[in-house]
Amino acid sequence: MCEGEYDSTLCTGDLFYVMRIAYIINSLDGYGAGLPIPLIIRFMRSTGADVRVFAFARRDGRMESVLQEAGIPYEVQPKGGIVASVFWLRRRLAAYQPALLWTSLVHATLYGRGLGAILGLPVVSWQHNMFLKRGNILALAATRRMTNLWVADSETVATMTRRRFGLRADDIAVWPLFVADPDAPQARAAQPGECFRLGSLGRLHPHKGYDVLIRALAKLNRETPAVSATFKMIIGGEGADRARLEALARLHNVSNLEFAGYQENPRDFLSTLHGYIQPSRVEGLCISAHEAMQAGLPAIVSDIGEMPLSVQKDRTGFVVPPEDSEALAAAIHRLVAERARAAAMGAAARAHVNERFSQARFRIAGQEIMRTAYRLARPVSTDAASAAVAETWQPAAVMPARDSRNLG
């Protein structure tokens, strides 16, 4: 007979069943939805789950040090190609013997769904992005019933996913990939006469809209050069679009813009700024914008994804239409010219994000999702007492991520 509180196992008769989760991702790239993985897996472990990461490619490999620091075991497919990836993952799953597959991003989700069906394993799938290629939408739609539970990283992504794939309300849950840390380093207000430092974090990719930002900076330089002389814009990130963006800046004679490269310590970077800009064309949650608000920065963001729900217009920042360089230029002008207001907006932003993305809210959402995961993964049992025990576990308190390093 099983007795006591079981945070770490499901009790089935006289045996303890530890749930193994194979967490399947596209790559060990150092941007986007992958970098909150330690936060999520730490929570999974607090429920007693054993979790191993399986990646189909290394790419820039910046995730490796993050996983190693967090003590998370991981494996990487050594060769490219769809067929090689599928056979590699099937072999590794046979060795690991998971009870559940948890997938992130399109390719990992499609592979995971296929192997879940072959191996008879339940599948939980993240949804991070509102904007997908048509081919990916069709593939996900065709296999949508092969995911047992969808998990969106924001309310806006959840709403779009329900509509796009015809899901019922209980088919998808929301678990934001961000939990506020009240102890995160704080930015300080710009002093009179000090250069106002604006910044952004993100991959140098057309989705991030940095070409729109350059056009906005060029407009300010042409029309209000005195204002442009009072601030500097710093972009922290790398990517294939860097050469094009640098050429565009030169073409428009934008001299108050710096490409600072990939930021190993984004929180430290954010603490040196006085304001934050996220001019994206495509976003889901956008963790970087939320980390900026957590640092006490007023934010200028595109009206895309979850950002306009988090940034309270004219209170914690400004919301502008995507692709609108004129509106972006006007918002930058207001932020830089009204420093006292910018400082007040930054303080309000910090308070707002600490409340909206509190540890308690993260924990509550995670508890419900993990309860569902355990129900999906547990063996069939006729032992009513065991089934009752399996419903009673409570995970340990989540600790805030000290450095998510997320640049997505």
Question: Could you tell me where in the chain the CATH 3.40.50.2000 domains are found?
Answer: 10-179+358-390, 196-356
The whole-number average pLDDT for the span 342-348 is 97
The pLDDT score that the predictor gives to residue 151 is 96
pLDDT tops 50 at residue 407: no
Written as six digits, the tokens of 327 are 């509106």
DSSP secondary structure letters along 68-97: HHHT--EEE-SS-SHHHHHHHHHHHHHHH-
pLDDT value of position 378: 63
How far is 73 from 156, CA to CA, in rounded Å? Answer: 32
Instruction: Quickly count: other Cβ atoms within 10 Å of residue 81's Cβ.
Output: 11
pLDDT above 70: residue 262: yes
Go through 377-388 and write b for each residue having 16 or more CB atoms within 10 A of its CB, e for each that does not: bbeebeeeebbe
Q: Is residue 144 scored above 70 in pLDDT?
A: yes
3-state secondary structure of 123: strand
Say which residue, 298 or 66, is predicted with more confidence: 298
Q: Quick one: pLDDT at residue 351?
A: 96
Q: Homologous superfamily of 196-356 in CATH?
A: Glycogen Phosphorylase B; (3.40.50.2000)
pLDDT-based confidence at residue 402 (cuts at 50, 70, 90): very low
pLDDT tens, 385-395?
334 434 444 44
Q: Is 286 left (phi over 0), alpha (psi -120 to 50) or beta?
A: left
| % of the chain with per-residue pLDDT over 70 | 87
Q: What is the pLDDT of residues 72-91, one digit of tens each?
A: 999 999 887 888 999 999 99
Please give the CATH superfamily to which domain 10-179+358-390 belongs: Glycogen Phosphorylase B; (3.40.50.2000)
Statement: residue 42 has pLDDT above 50: yes
What confidence category does residue 399 fall into, taking pLDDT thresholds of 50, 70 and 90? very low
